[in-house]
Homo-oligomer: A and B are copies of this chain.
């Protein structure tokens, strides 16, 4: 139920906003933290209103509804932040593939790992561009916390790429030692 708290958090930090406003923020700021689709978001706003955690502060043109967090919403956000242990992410497609690398030939496996490491490099570069583009002059508020998240991304990609290279090297080493023991009849490949 984290979408709920993402919405509460944004409304708390912004002081209020419409579903549309929030949607843009999800795309801009939370895309690699907690993505949400339009469909999901509007549904959640309805549920949050019904639960009394947010309320409609004003109505504008084009059916725009400006939401605002309520006191009980603020309480709930705080409770979630400090008292609810974050649920670790236990699914990882890349790990699953690596777990089954034995189904590939060593050459295929190394090719796969190299490709993945390269793909990570591209994403890391894109992240670095985002980080450069943001104006960090402002102090406090969301931008600062966004900086923490960007730094996480940087460390994550770095760790991930190093690990992929390490696995590739391990496989290469294993293959080399196998080759040494039983010389290949027709060379490697």
Footprint of B on A, CB under 8 Å?
A: 2, 5-6, 9, 12-13, 29-35, 77-78, 80-82, 85-104, 108, 111-112, 116, 119, 123, 139-142, 144-146, 148-149, 151-152, 155-156, 159, 162-163, 166-167, 170, 174
Partner of A152, one of B149, B155, B163: B163
Copies of this chain, tallied across the complex:
2
Identify the closest chain B residue to A78 (Cβ): B103
* CA–CA, A141 and B111, complex, Å: 19
Task: Decide: B167 and A103 in contact? CB cutoff 8 A.
Answer: no
Task: Decide: B90 and A103 in contact? CB cutoff 8 A.
Answer: no
Q: How far, in Å, is A165 (CB) from chain B's closest CB?
A: 12
Task: Decide: B144 and A102 in contact? CB cutoff 8 A.
Answer: yes
Query: Provided the pairs A35-B90, A91-B35 are in contact, do residues A82 and B149 lie with their beta carbons within 8 angstroms?
Result: no
Shortest beta-carbon contacts, A-B, top 6: A86-B93, A9-B100, A86-B94, A159-B159, A33-B95, A34-B96
* CA–CA, A93 and B112, complex, Å: 29
30 intermolecular pairs with C-beta atoms under 8 Å apart? A2-B93, A5-B96, A9-B99, A9-B100, A30-B96, A30-B99, A31-B90, A32-B90, A33-B92, A33-B96, A34-B91, A82-B104, A86-B94, A86-B97, A88-B123, A89-B89, A89-B91, A98-B152, A99-B142, A99-B146, A99-B148, A99-B149, A101-B148, A144-B174, A148-B170, A151-B167, A155-B159, A155-B162, A156-B159, A159-B159
